[in-house]
């Protein structure tokens, strides 16, 4: 049954595992970047590790805001989490070397997986790094994660989670950016983003030619007054 109301509020540390499960379910196995970045995210061990990484990230980055979308029903139905988003205010260029932010040996124990992810990451951060460099020191808001539970999609939760960051960006008069999946493109366009790079480039080398590559669109939204 469709909820009567969807609210967006801050997410607590204890709610991270629930949110990680939603993330895994919503992307299922259709998003190569998520599959590589959160290995085995659809298994109990992958979810435990993914939750641990999200929690470490939440605790270590004061510029990242972890949000949940909550559905509330009028019929005694308990409120429950149906989606999540992470927005980060970035003023400094992100690290291009993944091992500066992640315990890469633990997360990608296989050497080839680790190398592939490391190369992907270098290219992944290029557009957002350029956006930060072009911001004249003002910084940008980056939508780093967005996922809505498959049973609760098309009810406005995604839009509400995006709205939190675009509103903050408008208040500061700065741009918002996202490395978007094709399925979310329409939602981002309706929220004021346009595609700056229709297909992000990932030059991971001949040795990884057989691997699935991310299919991502780099989208930018100008501040609105």
Ligand X SMILES: CC(C)(COP(=O)(O)OP(=O)(O)OC[C@H]1O[C@@H](n2cnc3c(N)ncnc32)[C@H](O)[C@@H]1OP(=O)(O)O)[C@@H](O)C(=O)NCCC(=O)NCCS
| CA pair distance 145, 103, nearest whole angstrom | 20
Q: Which is nearer to ligand X, 134 or 183 (CB)?
A: 183
Among 81, 132, 140, 147, binds ligand X (CB under 6 A): 147
Single out the segment in contact with ligand X by CB under 6 A; choices: 13-21, 54-62, 122-130, 152-160.
152-160
Q: At what angle do helices 111-124 and 126-133 cross, to 10 degrees?
A: 30
Q: At what angle do helices 16-27 and 44-60 cross, to 10 degrees?
A: 120
Structure tokens at 84: 């999540």
Q: State yes or no: residue 159 binds ligand X (CB under 6 A).
A: yes
| CA pair distance 201, 25, nearest whole angstrom | 26
Residue 111 CB, shortest distance to ligand X, in Å, is: 28
Q: What are phi and psi of 146, to 5 degrees?
A: -150, 125
Among 111, 154, 205, 210, binds ligand X (CB under 6 A): 154
Rounded to whole angstroms, the maximal C-alpha distance in the chain is 57
Residue 93 CB, shortest distance to ligand X, in Å, is: 21
Q: State yes or no: residue 157 binds ligand X (CB under 6 A).
A: yes
Are the CB atoms for 8 and 79 separated by under 8 Å? Answer: no
Residue 77 CB, shortest distance to ligand X, in Å, is: 18
Residue 46 CB, shortest distance to ligand X, in Å, is: 17
Q: Which is nearer to ligand X, 109 or 198 (CB)?
A: 198
Phi-psi region of 149 (alpha: psi -120 to 50; beta: other; left: phi over 0): beta
Q: Which residue is nearest to ligand X (CB)?
A: 158
Structure tokens at 212: 């699935």
- Degrees (nearest 5) of the Cα angle 146, 213, 21? 35
Among 19, 117, 120, 146, binds ligand X (CB under 6 A): 146
Q: Which is nearer to ligand X, 157 or 205 (CB)?
A: 157
Q: State yes or no: residue 20 binds ligand X (CB under 6 A).
A: no
Are the CB atoms for 178 and 97 separated by under 8 Å? Answer: no
Among 86, 104, 140, 148, binds ligand X (CB under 6 A): 148
User: H helices within 30-102, ranges in order?
Assistant: 32-37, 44-60
**Which residues 178-197 are close enough to bind ligand X by CB under 6 A?**
178, 180-181, 183-184, 186-187, 190
Q: Which is nearer to ligand X, 107 or 146 (CB)?
A: 146
* Contact residues: ligand X, CB under 6 A: 26-27, 31, 146-148, 153-159, 178, 180-181, 183-184, 186-187, 190
């Amino acid at each position: 049954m469709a909820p009567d109301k969807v609210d967006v509020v801050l997410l607590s540390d204890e709610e991270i595992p629930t949110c990680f499960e939603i993330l895994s379910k919503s992307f299922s196995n259709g998003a190569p970047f998520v599959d590589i970045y959160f290995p085995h995210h659809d298994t109990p061990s992958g979810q435990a590790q993914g939750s641990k990484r999200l929690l470490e990230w939440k605790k270590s980055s004061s510029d990242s805001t972890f949000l949940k979308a909550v559905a509330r029903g009028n019929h005694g139905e308990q409120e429950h989490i149906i989606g999540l988003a992470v927005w980060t205010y970035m003023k400094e260029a992100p690290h291009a070397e993944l091992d500066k932010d992640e315990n890469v040996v633990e997360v990608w124990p296989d050497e080839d997986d680790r190398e592939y992810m490391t190369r992907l990451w270098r290219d992944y951060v290029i557009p957002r790094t350029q956006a930060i460099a072009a911001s004249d020191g003002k910084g940008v808001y980056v939508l780093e994660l967005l996922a809505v539970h498959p049973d609760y999609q098309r009810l406005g939760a995604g839009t509400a989670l995006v709205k939190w960051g675009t509103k903050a960006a408008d208040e500061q008069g700065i741009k918002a950016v996202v490395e978007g999946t094709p399925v979310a493109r329409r939602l981002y366009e309706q929220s004021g983003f346009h595609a700056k790079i229709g297909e992000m480039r990932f030059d991971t080398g001949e040795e990884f030619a057989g691997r699935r590559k991310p299919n991502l669109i780099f989208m930018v939204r100008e501040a609105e007054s």
